[in-house]
């Protein structure tokens, strides 16, 4: 164990390991919130734990629980979760080299493919550091997330009202944190604003889950606005 730690420290360095550790700590706290919210919303204690092991995607898990708890259908909840995880497809192309060539390592590596592990891997220029960062971050987050969810699920059985502790704000806070950096890009603002407007306008009239799906029209608005901008330089000499 000591030799593995020394090798990992040598490859990644203490600063990068510290950053990964801080992310793992933050995800543990979010996992506690998720477990408590799920059980406090009426889910059996095993449900958030099973989702965390099999799905391992915080945003999708929060979305699934939120839609079901609000009275939405399981179909809408699953569809929303799948759409949220659609970003993993380009992730796979971007970091496919770090997963290895063996079938088993690619399956396990794909399961550990989340925003944080991909971000740490892409930030490294050296191939060895890319692989080490991805696997250390992915495994660390998987363990910490599930430990947090387990603790939160048991805590949720003792908390009658998770809203009183502000735990209900964890889900929108996580999604907002994921969206805010992308708003620096001017091209990303239009689809986000259109999607928000559509979701807010339709929420009072449609079942839970459907406004989230309809918000995808923002993507079409972004594509429609991008096409004229791409054609414009052709006429400039």
- Each residue of 200-228: pLDDT tens digit? 888 888 766 677 667 777 777 776 766 55
HEC string of 173-227 equals HHHHHHHHHHHHCHHHHHHHHHHHHHHHHHCCCCCCCHHHHHCCHHHHHHHHHHH
Task: Give the DSSP H or E segment for 85.
Answer: none
Question: What's the confidence (pLDDT) of residue 50?
Answer: 92
Task: Please give the DSSP secondary-structure letter assigned to residue 158.
Answer: T
Q: Give the integer Cα–Cα distance in Å for 88 and 110.
A: 9
The string of pLDDT tens digits covering residues 57-84 is 887 888 888 888 878 788 888 887 887 7
Q: Decide if pLDDT at 128 tops 60.
A: yes
Q: Give the integer Cα–Cα distance in Å for 115 and 144.
A: 15
pTM of the shown model: 0.69
Give residue limits of the domains in the chain: 2-183, 185-237
The 10 Å Cβ neighbour count of residue 188 is 15
Q: Decide if pLDDT at 4 tops 70.
A: no
């Amino acid at each position: 164990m000591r030799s593995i730690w020394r090798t990992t420290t040598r490859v990644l360095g203490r600063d990068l390991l510290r950053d990964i550790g801080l992310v793992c700590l933050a995800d543990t706290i979010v996992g506690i919130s998720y477990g408590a919210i799920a059980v406090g919303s009426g889910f059996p204690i095993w449900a958030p734990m099973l989702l965390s092991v099999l799905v391992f995607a915080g945003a999708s898990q929060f979305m699934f629980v939120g839609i079901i708890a609000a009275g939405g259908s399981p179909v809408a909840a699953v569809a929303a979760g799948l759409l949220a995880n659609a970003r993993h497809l380009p992730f796979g192309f971007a970091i496919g080299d770090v997963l290895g060539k063996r079938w088993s390592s690619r399956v396990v590596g794909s399961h550990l493919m989340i925003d944080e592990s991909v971000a740490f891997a892409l930030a490294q220029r050296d191939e060895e550091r890319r692989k080490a960062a991805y696997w250390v971050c992915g495994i660390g987050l998987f363990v910490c997330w599930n430990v947090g969810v387990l603790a939160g699920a048991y805590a949720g059985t003792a908390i009658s009202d998770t809203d009183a502790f502000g735990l209900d704000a964890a889900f929108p806070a996580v999604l907002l944190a994921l969206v805010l950096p992308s708003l620096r890009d001017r091209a990303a603002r239009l689809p986000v604003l259109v999607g928000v407007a559509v979701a807010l306008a339709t929420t009072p009239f449609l079942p839970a889950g459907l406004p989230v799906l309809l918000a995808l029209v923002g993507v079409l608005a972004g594509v429609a606005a991008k096409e004229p901008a791409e054609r414009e330089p052709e006429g400039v000499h």
